[in-house]
A = this chain, B = another copy of it.
Amino acid sequence: MKDIRTEMKKDLEQYFDRLWPICRSITGNGLRQSLEILQEIIPLEITEVPTGTKVFDWSIPKEWNIRDAYIITPSGNKIADFSVNNLHVLNYSTPIDMELDYDALAEHIHTVPEIPDAIPYITSYYKENWGFCLSHNEWTSLPKEGKYKVKIDSELRHGSLSYGECVLKGDTEKEILFSTYLCHPSMANNELSGPLAAAFLYRKIAAMPKRKFTYRFLFAPETIGVIAFLAEHGVKLKSHIHAGYVLTCCGDSGNFTYKRSKKRTSVGDRAAEHVLRTSGGEHKVIEFAVGGSDERQYCSPGFNMPVGSLMRTPYQRYREYHTSLDNKNFISFDALEETVNTYFDIVKVLELNEVYINKIPYCEPQLGKYGLYPSSVNPVFDRESTHRLLHFLSFADGEHDLLDIADLRKDSALLYEKIITDTRTAGLI
């Protein structure tokens, strides 16, 4: 039997390498091209929302595309070359082609003095502007005399915003949502790890022989993309959603962090925390806060959906965040695979979780009759699994779901899969 995990890891890396160089933004061909590559893994349906469309309090901005950008120094060197690193250009820069001196140029240059070798990632979606991002080291080495030539070969025009969606039907209309964003140029943990994890999670869920829930996957530009999606589908989603998660920062080597939905104790929150708690690994659980990603929209007061986010090291908590240092070296494909598998454990727990009802509620059933009781003449019989079975039947009382039942024994809910099958076969539930 071949090692499937290794296979997944190789695939993750190959798709990472293909997606990496593309210059994505909240609109444009880089975004479309990325969605196309992901369609090889997950059959995304693409929606195009035209520029100017009103989506709640927002409207879809012009579409941005870019071919090239660079600066020529007074001594004739080409620097800040977009073709070398697409972070060099302020994302959504208007086109420019001019000569200017150092001081005028300085007003359009962004650096991070605290991390002098990093190129920062800067955007200006809603206020027209142009600019370049440089490492602070490179910027401070430039001469203050002489003329600089700047060239940005970009275009802002009426077009559309693209997002991709895929639905895996299950036995019920109750939905589990996986939402990830796609709009950042070449950065690894935030954000390529998110779409990659979501796409490979799709593969695992699609391979399940049976699904109680319907699964919805959304790949959209952060904020505006999700707002566009919710403007069209939010009310319906709210009526069907059972649990939801935003996938981001899935690839660094840090411990897991689960950020709760605003509801705090929804079944999606409980399942995610249960999986982390019973995994034995160190992890953190943090509350919903607006310093975050698309859960801000899902959990806004009008929607307040049960959408949390399982991450590794959250955005803004690692130094490389939103700079050129968030690159392939910063992430680990082992970690990324573990994230996919942990999300899949959550799925398995959600599928298994129900309020089960013991059909022999008065006193214990006589388990021996059903072949479910070990012979008591063996003094070292497996008391643990008999207790787990009796525990399950005792709390299958209509007031506890499986998560409650497992939590009461500090067990993983996944340990109850066989018990549920056995007791169902015996007609006990």
A231 proximity list for chain B (CB < 8 A): 362-363
Q: Are A379 and B56 within 8 A (Cβ)?
A: no
With A375-B127, A390-B290 in contact, do A304 and B397 touch (Cβ < 8 Å)?
yes
Q: Which of A281-316 contact B (CB under 8 A)?
A: 287, 289-291, 296-297, 299-304
Q: Are B362 and A394 within 8 A (Cβ)?
A: no
Cα A365 to Cα B224 in complex, Å, equals 11
- A interface residues, how many (CB within 8 angstroms): 61
Q: Is the interface of A mostly helix, strand, loop or mixed?
A: loop
Q: Are B296 and A122 within 8 A (Cβ)?
A: no
A203 proximity list for chain B (CB < 8 A): none
Residue A46 at the chain B interface, CB threshold 8 Å: no
Cα A309 to Cα B309 in complex, Å, equals 42
Binary interface encoding of chain A residues 384-423 relative to chain B, with 1 for a CB under 8 A from any of its CBs, else 0: 0001001101111110000000001100000000000000
Cα A141 to Cα B360 in complex, Å, equals 48
Partner of A291, one of B290, B296, B368, B383: B383
Cα A55 to Cα B361 in complex, Å, equals 13
- CB closest residue in chain B, given A302: B361
Cα A123 to Cα B377 in complex, Å, equals 6
Given contacts A56-B363, A120-B379, A303-B361, 14 further A-B contacts (CB under 8 A): A57-B366, A110-B379, A112-B379, A122-B376, A122-B377, A123-B376, A131-B377, A223-B364, A230-B363, A234-B362, A290-B390, A290-B391, A296-B364, A322-B379
Residues in chain A within 8 A of chain B (CB atoms): 55-58, 90, 110, 112, 120, 122-124, 126-127, 129, 131, 223, 226-227, 230-231, 234, 262, 287, 289-291, 296-297, 299-304, 322, 358, 360-366, 368-369, 375-377, 379, 383, 387, 390-391, 393-398, 408-409
